[in-house]
Amino acid sequence: MTFEGGDGSGKSTQSRLLAEHLRDAGHTVLHTREPGGTEVGHEIRELVLHHRGDIVPRAEALLYAADRAHHVATVVRPALASGVTVVQDRYLDSSVAYQGVGRELDAAEIRELSLWATEGLLPDLTVLLDLDEADARGRLDAANKRFDRLEAQGTEFHARVRTAFLALAEVERGRFLVVDGSESSSDLAVKIAARIDELLAERGIESATSASGSDVRTG
């Protein structure tokens, strides 16, 4: 499962809460993120988000793809192969929205780049937290934190990103769960957990608490 949304939408909080929910239910969970889910990824994250100088859009897109390729090959695929449920903060949809549309590159080319980097790996479900870009900026301002290179972009950039995410969700309705990011964190967590529990049940994956002592593998 992956979580997507604009900066300030609450996706990092909700991905963490879902991971906690699944662990409490007895599932083995990997909670990870992009960029920065590996040692190499951490270095790429520092470069792509906090580099003081300019990074041209195509180079930025390639850096994200490089992080994604290494992360999937060394962390995500091994976890899935061992039966672990992966909950991830950002994945290829972020590159399509931020670099493909936000940076005004070719969204289809950016998607193909990520699919090549990951050998075609797609999530079973993507939770999109949709939030008006002005409200999202208000949350970031209230946090009183130093903005990274993408957070610091203007309103028009973040409006394009939001529109791109919603367009992706419209095209792949079966993969996306779109939720209102303005709702309370607790209400959102309940809605998301209910959908994930439903998805796991549909696939015959029981939690340890409902498996009556039997071995449980999640994927």
In a domain, 105, yes or no: yes
Please report the pLDDT score of residue 210 as a whole number.
47
Report which of 113, 42, 126, 87 is spatially closest to residue 218, judged by C-alpha positions: 87
In a domain, 214, yes or no: no
Domain count along the chain: 1
Please report the pLDDT score of residue 198 as a whole number.
94
| Least confident stretch, 33-37, 54-58, 62-66, 199-203 | 199-203
The CATH number of the domain where 172 resides is what?
3.40.50.300
Q: What are the tens digits of pLDDT across the range 48-106?
A: 999 988 999 999 999 999 999 999 999 999 999 999 999 999 999 999 999 999 999 99
Residue 39 has pLDDT above 90, yes or no: yes
In a domain, 149, yes or no: yes
Domain that holds residue 92: 2-202
| pLDDT tier at 207, thresholds 50, 70, 90 | low
- How much is the pTM? 0.91
Phi/psi of residue 6, nearest 5 degrees: -70, 165
In a domain, 216, yes or no: no
Higher per-residue confidence, 204 vs 195: 195
